[in-house]
Amino acid sequence: MLFTGSKYCPTCAYVNYRLNIRRFPRKTTNAIWEYIKKNGYVCYYTKIPLDVKDIKSPWYLQFDHWIPRDSKKVVITSTLINEMKSDQSEEEFWDFVIQLDNYKKKHIKIKTGPLVYWYRLHPPIVSPLKTPKKQSSQCVICGNPVFSTYSKYCKICSNFEIRLKSKSFPRKTVSDVWQYVRQNGYVCYYTGMPLNMLDRHNPWYCVLSPLKPNDPKKVVITTYLLFVMKSKLSEKEFWSFIDQLAKHKKQGTKVKKFNPRYWS
């Protein structure tokens, strides 16, 4: 049913309002409407039916730059996919999804090449680490030489200790993180890939990630990119959705909606 004096139904009128706010180029807006006329309100990447009304839904319609920050081509997708794709092109996104799926199922090593459009910068370390007493010559975590005679850590472990302290995690959580690092080194909990410890702009930079969203009791280390992609999903939900996405890309199977337990 159309609004009086309008060429849109209430649903399309609302989408048109959101499009006008974004002020995309006219050619871009026309291309979006052509897609909707042909396919309906379904995700460009997964063909999942999108929620046009509930802004709290992980399947709520979002406008995604096909190439990050480039308004020449914009597609419709869900909030969840929009967050997972983040600063990746479509090709980079699907490549990493397939790599994750292959790692989970076949233990194939993930390639950590540069991402062309990655633009994120992890917050800097802000608080100094005070170690007034003279320490030994070897780092208590990794065994490398300490960076100062008054520190018990090497430079990398010292910076990591500052980051751990700044998060105010429970003592047991911090202890568990250090235990993991001692046993495995600075490698991703989910994929086993080596983590970048120096470049905060790098998509493979080491990030502290709650295993369950917003739960500080169990924290793991992972890449900045995977931290963004996992978003508000539990570990089980994340791998299940990666499996669905990989099958959709490889075989064209239907992606099923689900209600993420920790989505907010």
128 confidence band (pLDDT: 50, 70, 90):
low
Identify whether 53 is part of a domain. yes
Cα–Cα distance for residue pair 255/47, rounded to 1 Å: 8
Identify whether 5 is part of a domain. no
CB 52 within 8 A of CB 43: no
Average pLDDT over residues 231-248: 96
- Residues 153-172: pLDDT tens digits? 999 999 999 999 888 899 99
Residues in the chain: 264
pTM: 0.88
Q: What three-state secondary structure class fits 131?
A: coil
Which residues contact residue 167 at a Cβ distance below 8 angstroms, ignoring those fewer than 6 apart?
A: 208, 216, 219
User: Which secondary structure element, helix H or strand E, spans residue 64, and what is its range?
Assistant: strand 61-65
Identify whether 60 is part of a domain. yes
Question: In the numeric block, which tokens belong to residue 73?
Answer: 């081509």
120 confidence band (pLDDT: 50, 70, 90):
confident
- Residues 200-233: pLDDT tens digits? 999 999 999 999 999 999 999 999 999 999 989 9
- Is residue 150 located within the same domain as residue 127? yes
Q: Which of 121-125, 194-198, 219-223 has the lowest mean pLDDT?
A: 121-125
**Eight-class DSSP state of 258:** -
Cα–Cα distance for residue pair 15/92, rounded to 1 Å: 28
Helices H, strands E: what count in the chain?
Answer: 8, 4
Identify whether 2 is part of a domain. no
Residue with tokens 């963004």: 228
Which residue range is the domain that position 230 belongs to?
A: 110-117+167-264
Q: Where are the alpha helices (DSSP H) in 134-208?
A: 155-166, 171-184
- Is residue 180 located within the same domain as residue 148? no
**Eight-class DSSP state of 3:** P
Average pLDDT over residues 132-136: 66
Q: Following DSSP, what letter does each residue of 148-169 receive, concatenated? A: STT-SS-HHHHHHHHHHHHTT-
β partners of residue 120:
none
- Is residue 56 located within the same domain as residue 130? no
